Structure 1
Amino acid sequence: MDHNSSSTINNRKPESSHEEEENADHSKEILTVLEEKDHEATSSESSVEKIFESKEVPPWQKQLTLRAFLVSFVLSILFTFIVMKLNLTTGIIPSLNVSAGLLGFFFLKVWSKFMEKSGILGQPFTRQENTVIQTCVVASSGIAFSGGFGSYLFGMSETIAKKATEANDSQNIKNPALTWMIGFLFVVSFLGLFSVVPLRKIMIIDFKLTYPSGTATAHLINSFHTPQGAKLAKKQVRTLGKFFSFSFLWGFFQWFFTAGDGCGFVEFPTFGLKAYQNRFYFDFSATYVGVGMICPYLINISLLVGAILSWGIMWPLIEKRKGDWYSATLSPSSLHGIQGYRVFIAIAVILGDGLYNFVKVLGRTLLGLYQQIRDKNSGSVLPVGSSPSPSNTPAVSYDDELRTRHFLKDKIPTWVAVSGYLVLAIISAATLPHIFHPLKWYYVIVMYIFAPTLAFCNAYGCGLTDWNLASTYGKLAIFLIGAWAGASHGGVLAGLAACGVMMNIVSTASDLSQDFKTGYMTLASPRSMFVSQVVGTAIGCVVSPCVFWIFYKAFPDLGTLGSQYPAPYATVYRGIAILGVEGFSSLPNHCLTLCYVFFIAAVVINGLRDVVGPKWAKYIPIPMAMAIPFFLGPYFTIDMCVGSLILFIWETLDKAKADAFGPAVASGLICGDGIWTLPSSILALVGVKPPICMKFLSRKTNVRVDAFLGN
């Protein structure tokens, strides 16, 4: 979305906000802290597995319990609502693995104690079962992201298409419907799992890839099942519960004052009315205060810098050119007007950042593969770091020997993976053209020929750097398949559909590789990891479309600029598809020049961050994060910076307590406000409206309103 019970790690789906690099560094820093904490907690014990030596490892069938999947199903619904809300508001999705791990541990502990008090001797709750829950929940809620409900899938809709005059004909539009969304996800979401299964031993045992997120998740689960970790986890769950309740009740309280457009606390002009017009205000969102507490400081500062650069400087200057650079009669949401500059300049930054990181990670992947194959051929071991000569090869530790034995014990036959991939590929090639008519069967076949290689590259690169480049591969598919289909044959819709196919394959491949690493370190069987991922994916293929459908039906203005759920990335992805098919003719005057400047700037800034090294890079903003407020506005960045400020002050006063309980507080704020969307959606569906509209007016406007009402 992965760490010890006192920290948080990077999101496994980094596309939507803080993309790859900062999260990778953040995960590695946290991993170091985790190892230090584990060292302290075990009183200088050198072996983690010796702590669990007295506990029998259950066979893989017993790791997959009914209670684990029941808990996973409940948590999947909760987290899907949270991810969906974040998808449709700003697209910034933090890691929710902490919450999944904590709540999974809590529910199973309560279940076990209840069964004991009832006189029923149930199966002991093990770390392997905890791993199954974590894997299942993250796989399920991850579909809410990779399913494209806030990006490529919703970008196909008429709501998003009518914002532009290009490619808004019927052959480039596909409105959401439960049947085809569920069918599409079932067809494309499992291929990535089968593509990476044959390579699990190479990734985990031979190449010894780090997978910081998967390793940190294992530390989290291992720590929960020690006496000290269980005690801390219970305290963290209580803290999460308190802030969950506060956040839920705060969302409920705010609802009473939102009876019309522009009403409620979310419209409070914190910095004055002029700043409010440029979207600089604090909107009292518990969700984004919590997100700000989880995201690294540099992400939040980068967002703020991007907000000031765009809404504080650039857009006011461009708006002064109205009537010169673009027509003064266009609607504010038209891509030929000011909104076109906001969207396409943001796209230029996103593409520049994505291309740089793609080339960088691909280069590291190829270099790493070359070095490891060379070292293997020379007879040495295959660590990621230095390669000692055979004569001084270090002895394998007790932990590694035990983990390797368990990891290799329950093999997944290669023929199962290969045949599963081929069967699903044939079904997909036959099915997808019926769902998306411009997406021809041979486009699908070509993608599936190259997909395993790309899935391997993404999974391998993720193991080295913790960067998931699924979104970059998806954007690449938009351009290639969209251009192949052509503007006159539904190229925009074909490109967006191809994006979904490619994103799902390469994203699930890296996710499963992370899970294999987690299972390796918790002695969970690869078979249980694979089955858990499959079950979680299947749950997500049903739950995510249903949750999106609730939003789609409850909020008629979904995807509209300035609405409660503007779905900004849907506009961006459709803009990318239009750009790939229609070319640059769709851009407003001088927009192309500005796009070139910002594309180059994104590449240069990323290069500068690498040149100066980690010590100084933490002071240089991240282009991807800077681009997000370009079209959405700064209001959520204010919330996130408030979250960062709270955490900074807390760490200054009591760093140990902030490390231990900060993630729980943040998760509680996110979960409470996120789950409030369920009752608020139900109220909207049944036609129950809030009783009060609270608005904030200038003195002059208030005088005019009073005069009007007096008449």
Structure 2
Amino acid sequence: MTRQEQPRTPYEPDLEEDWLAPEEEQVIEGDLSVRAVVVGLLVGVVLCMTNVYFGLQTGWVSMMSLQSALLGYAIFLVLPKLLPSVMSRPFTVQENVILQTTAVATGTMPLAAGLVGIIPALEMLDIKLDGRGPIRLTWTHLIAWCLAVAFFGVFLAVPLRRQVIIKEKLVFPSGTATAQLIALLHKAPPPAQALDPSRIGAYARIPRDSNEVTETRQVGPAGPGGTAEKQQVMGGSAWRMLGLSFAASGAMTFLSFLFPVLYAIPAFDILSIPFGTSLAASWMWWFTPSLSYVGQGIIMGFPVTVSMNIGMIVGWAFLSPLSKMMGWAPGPVSSTTNGARGWILWVALAIMIAESLISLLPSFFASLQRQISHFRQNKAPTRMFAAAHSSPRGSHDTATGDDYYEPMTGEPDEDAEHEPPHRLVPLSWVLWGLGASGVLGVGLVWYVFGDDGIKPWATAAGLILASGLAVVGVRALGETDINPVSGIGKISQLLFAILQPGNVVANLIAGGVAEAGAQQAGDLMQDLKTGHLLRASPRSQFYGQMIGSLASVFVSTAGYKFYTSVYQIPGPQFAVPSAGVWLNLARLLNNGHLPSHVIPFMALFAALFGLIALLKALRPRLNLEPSSPSSRAISHLPSGIAFAVGFLNSPSFSIARLIGGYIAYRSAKASGRGETPLLAIVVASGFVLGEGVLSIVSLGLTSAGYGAISCWGCGVGGGGYCSGGCS
């Protein structure tokens, strides 16, 4: 498609023959377009439903920023033929930033609203253990709950941008990687701020309620020649591979719906033949050849999947049989209350709390030190906020409505804000937004749960706690690509066990409120980093975040209600491991009961992974050479969160992820650069999205009364999908 020549505006790219031709300069105006927001919402709906599916199944969730940018760009490749009028002008880099920002805000609401953790945990309450029965929210109450936590984190992210992105120039690896990918797709110059090559690339997240583990890898070489090679990789063959991987994963998902044994193969039963038992039926050792989990493994990377599978072996091959045979967990192995699965969950919880809290300490002390430094430089809060409304101070004036930490002197500032005021979010919006969203949150939570659930003052305390912890979480995310929301949630639960003792419901709600704010602020800060590198308007991104969050309130509620109305949750197909973590800790803090003989194992593993987390946190301060044996040894220590996820998920999912991790390792080795090729990441994205989308089709068929064509093989000893689809 060609475009008629016309006079260029100062912000318009000089396009060649193709409507997606290379841009000579970055567009910095007109990025908030209706088409970018609408397509962002469409992509976000897909991501939202996908996150509900994977979150309920294994607790695995993802921002999917890279996938959003890929899908959005692919849609705009097709739109010129379908809607020529919509494509009268080119789809710009900045519009893609707004598109993926809107999509991420829409797709992450199931996580922020606790639909894969807090809400299922409330439905798992037991009157004997918790003093009250299950709480099942109606459609109206669930929408009200989502509205209560939908916007506070968005307003929290705005004032933090000036400090962590402009002043401190934190890396935010995933946000930077997304910026690089968008620039690559549009054949635009790469972002100005380069990353350490070892920290660039694709990312993935695993259990939101279990912290977030991220692995970053370079998606292409920097410098001259790198762009040309990347552009060649993202040619027609890459798009074909994305389509083929999507189709293959979707087909496998649909076949598993028709023949459930395909996702519950009792492959390990051959090892138990001499003992006359079934590892699948008795110990949950079946194999799920899910391409989506293979794709997750590719994105996560080999080190994370290895840590996960080490945890799987320790938890499911040693501790699970030990607890069962010793009579410490007398119930069925799959039971989360009195079975081995529930017993090892406590060990996983101890690991996650220990690593999360230890990992938080460096960022906490760094944040405290910086705040003390600001006050010592006469930057009291009143002066910080006054700077935002100061009169011009000369040629070096950089005070704007987003300028919360700007020096009051008229001296040049190398960290000056380059965005004009009309592209920034005014301070007054932030203050009014925080106040309004806080009042809205307190009021709606009280409306949903009443005084018996949580007191209004306690909800307000949770929001205040989220404000403080968000600073720590955002800085940790910017430095390490890990948002320690698990530690933040657990800190909240510990605090509210004191503020409202004996109230399991209040403990869960308060923890969820605090975690939601910190999680949203961190996720959206990644998007703001992407926008900063590609010169997208922060105000336009703010609009996209607000629109996406509002839309997702209704999409997330619908998705969750559809799944819970069709499937047993928790059940064979959707174990909801994150809900078990939240509920068990709340019960422990309020009732003090632990399974038999689990305390020594909790203490042992907590101490071990607390020490590992401490070594990793101190490594940058030890001034070790990266190639030294000590530094290499520390870098190869397993991730405690990934290790714990091996406990939370049944072996089938961890094994599939390990296959993907090994594919990433082999493809990186074959590339000759030690990095996973971008083509592999594209294929992995197709795998993940294929199962996520086709799961919606399966949901519709199940709700319409359709089921498996054949349950052949399930009686051999299958589990998981088998026992759910052929019950």
Q: TM-score, normalised by structure 2?
A: 0.77
Provide closer, same or farther for how the CA distance between residues 307 and 673 of structure 1 changes in structure 2, counting only shifts above 3 A.
same
Residue 517 of structure 2 is aligned to residue 495 of structure 1: no
For the residue of structure 1 that corresponds to 2:711, the secondary structure is coil
**Percentage of matched positions with identical amino acids:** 25
Residue 266 of structure 2 is aligned to residue 295 of structure 1: no
What residue is the counterpart of 1:30 in the other structure? Answer: none
Give the alignment partner of residue 146 of structure 1, picking from 101, 107, 112: 112
Unpaired stretches in structure 2, ≥5 consecutive residues = 1-21, 189-227, 273-278, 380-410, 620-629, 718-727
Provide closer, same or farther for how the CA distance between residues 554 and 174 of structure 1 changes in structure 2, counting only shifts above 3 A.
same
What residue is the counterpart of 1:567 in the other structure? Answer: 576
Residues 609 and 616 of structure 1 are in contact (CA less than 8 Å); yes or no, is this contact kept in structure 2? Answer: no
Deviation (angstroms), 1:645:
2.1
What residue is the counterpart of 2:32 in the other structure? Answer: 64
For the residue of structure 2 that corresponds to 1:649, the secondary structure is helix
Residues 112 and 517 of structure 2 are in contact (CA less than 8 Å); yes or no, is this contact kept in structure 1? Answer: no
Instruction: Give 1:432-581 correspondences, 5 Å limit.
Output: 432-437=445-450, 438-487=453-502, 491-555=503-567, 557-560=568-571, 563-581=572-590
Separation in structure 2 between the aligned mates of residue 537 and residue 299 of structure 1, nearest angstrom: 30
What residue is the counterpart of 1:364 in the other structure? Answer: 366
Cα root mean square deviation, aligned: 2.8
Provide closer, same or farther for how the CA distance between residues 376 and 461 of structure 1 changes in structure 2, counting only shifts above 3 A.
farther
Separation in structure 2 between the aligned mates of residue 272 and residue 371 of structure 1, nearest angstrom: 64
What residue is the counterpart of 2:595 in the other structure? Answer: 588
Deviation track 1:553-609 (CA, whole Å, cap 9, x = no partner) reads 111x2213xx011111111110011111112xx212222222222221221222344
Residues 310 and 646 of structure 2 are in contact (CA less than 8 Å); yes or no, is this contact kept in structure 1? Answer: no
Separation in structure 1 between the aligned mates of residue 532 and residue 477 of structure 2, nearest angstrom: 17
What residue is the counterpart of 1:640 in the other structure? Answer: 657
Residue 703 of structure 2 is aligned to residue 685 of structure 1: yes
Residue 145 of structure 2 is aligned to residue 136 of structure 1: no
For the residue of structure 2 that corresponds to 1:123, the secondary structure is coil
Separation in structure 1 between the aligned mates of residue 338 and residue 268 of structure 2, nearest angstrom: 31
Residue 604 of structure 2 is aligned to residue 597 of structure 1: yes
Give the alignment partner of residue 219 of structure 1, picking from 176, 180, 187: 180
Separation in structure 2 between the aligned mates of residue 218 and residue 579 of structure 1, nearest angstrom: 43
Deviation (angstroms), 1:130:
0.3
Deviation (angstroms), 1:347:
1.1
What residue is the counterpart of 1:5 in the other structure? Answer: none
Residues 477 and 499 of structure 1 are in contact (CA less than 8 Å); yes or no, is this contact kept in structure 2? Answer: yes
Residue 125 of structure 2 is aligned to residue 161 of structure 1: yes
Residues 280 and 638 of structure 1 are in contact (CA less than 8 Å); yes or no, is this contact kept in structure 2? Answer: no
Give the alignment partner of residue 240 of structure 1, picking from 224, 239, 242: 242
Separation in structure 1 between the aligned mates of residue 527 and residue 87 of structure 2, nearest angstrom: 30
Deviation (angstroms), 1:174:
1.6
Provide closer, same or farther for how the CA distance between residues 244 and 180 of structure 1 changes in structure 2, counting only shifts above 3 A.
same
For the residue of structure 2 that corresponds to 1:153, the secondary structure is helix
Provide closer, same or farther for how the CA distance between residues 330 and 484 of structure 1 changes in structure 2, counting only shifts above 3 A.
farther
Separation in structure 2 between the aligned mates of residue 330 and residue 207 of structure 1, nearest angstrom: 52
Separation in structure 2 between the aligned mates of residue 106 and residue 410 of structure 1, nearest angstrom: 28
Separation in structure 2 between the aligned mates of residue 517 and residue 642 of structure 1, nearest angstrom: 32
Separation in structure 2 between the aligned mates of residue 96 and residue 156 of structure 1, nearest angstrom: 27
Residues 364 and 461 of structure 1 are in contact (CA less than 8 Å); yes or no, is this contact kept in structure 2? Answer: no
Provide closer, same or farther for how the CA distance between residues 218 and 238 of structure 1 changes in structure 2, counting only shifts above 3 A.
same
Provide closer, same or farther for how the CA distance between residues 357 and 134 of structure 1 changes in structure 2, counting only shifts above 3 A.
same
Deviation track 1:115-162 (CA, whole Å, cap 9, x = no partner) reads 44x6x76232111100001111111111122221221121100xx224
Deviation track 1:254-284 (CA, whole Å, cap 9, x = no partner) reads 22213xxxx4442332462634343334211
What residue is the counterpart of 1:672 in the other structure? Answer: 690
Separation in structure 1 between the aligned mates of residue 692 and residue 459 of structure 2, nearest angstrom: 36
Unpaired stretches in structure 1, ≥5 consecutive residues = 1-50, 378-392, 700-711
Residue 694 of structure 2 is aligned to residue 695 of structure 1: no
Count of aligned pairs: 604
Instruction: Give 1:100-499 correspondences, 5 Å limit.
Output: 100-112=68-80, 114-116=82-84, 122-157=88-123, 160-162=124-126, 165-167=128-130, 169-170=132-133, 173-226=134-187, 228=228, 232-235=233-236, 236-258=238-260, 263-270=261-268, 272=270, 274=272, 275-276=279-280, 277-322=282-327, 325=328, 328=330, 333=335, 335-367=337-369, 404-406=417-419, 408-437=421-450, 438-487=453-502, 491-499=503-511
Q: Output the amino acid matched with 1:554.
A: V
Separation in structure 2 between the aligned mates of residue 570 and residue 495 of structure 1, nearest angstrom: 13
Deviation track 1:631-670 (CA, whole Å, cap 9, x = no partner) reads 4322211111111222333334445795020011111111
Q: TM-score, normalised by structure 1?
A: 0.79
What residue is the counterpart of 1:386 in the other structure? Answer: none
What residue is the counterpart of 1:663 in the other structure? Answer: 681
Separation in structure 2 between the aligned mates of residue 329 and residue 683 of structure 1, nearest angstrom: 34
Q: Output the amino acid matched with 1:223.
A: L
Residues 407 and 526 of structure 1 are in contact (CA less than 8 Å); yes or no, is this contact kept in structure 2? Answer: no
Deviation track 1:293-337 (CA, whole Å, cap 9, x = no partner) reads 111211111111111112111221222212xx46x4788626245
Deviation (angstroms), 1:178:
2.1
Separation in structure 1 between the aligned mates of residue 424 and residue 307 of structure 2, nearest angstrom: 45
Deviation (angstroms), 1:108:
1.9
Q: Output the amino acid matched with 1:419.
A: W
Separation in structure 1 between the aligned mates of residue 285 and residue 77 of structure 2, nearest angstrom: 45
Separation in structure 1 between the aligned mates of residue 668 and residue 460 of structure 2, nearest angstrom: 53
Q: Output the amino acid matched with 1:540.
A: S
Deviation track 1:5-64 (CA, whole Å, cap 9, x = no partner) reads xxxxxxxxxxxxxxxxxxxxxxxxxxxxxxxxxxxxxxxxxxxxxx85545532xxx322
Provide closer, same or farther for how the CA distance between residues 369 and 257 of structure 1 changes in structure 2, counting only shifts above 3 A.
same
Instruction: Give 1:61-100 correspondences, 5 Å limit.
Output: 62-94=30-62, 96-100=64-68
Residues 351 and 641 of structure 2 are in contact (CA less than 8 Å); yes or no, is this contact kept in structure 1? Answer: yes
Deviation (angstroms), 1:696:
5.8
Residues 436 and 497 of structure 1 are in contact (CA less than 8 Å); yes or no, is this contact kept in structure 2? Answer: no
Deviation (angstroms), 1:629:
2.5
Deviation (angstroms), 1:370:
5.4
What residue is the counterpart of 2:382 in the other structure? Answer: none
What residue is the counterpart of 2:646 in the other structure? Answer: 629
Separation in structure 2 between the aligned mates of residue 442 and residue 302 of structure 1, nearest angstrom: 41
Separation in structure 2 between the aligned mates of residue 216 and residue 210 of structure 1, nearest angstrom: 10
Deviation (angstroms), 1:611:
5.6
Separation in structure 2 between the aligned mates of residue 196 and residue 253 of structure 1, nearest angstrom: 43
Q: Output the amino acid matched with 2:234.
A: A
Separation in structure 2 between the aligned mates of residue 667 and residue 72 of structure 1, nearest angstrom: 17
Separation in structure 1 between the aligned mates of residue 666 and residue 263 of structure 2, nearest angstrom: 25
Provide closer, same or farther for how the CA distance between residues 374 and 212 of structure 1 changes in structure 2, counting only shifts above 3 A.
farther
Deviation (angstroms), 1:551:
0.9
Residues 362 and 617 of structure 2 are in contact (CA less than 8 Å); yes or no, is this contact kept in structure 1? Answer: no
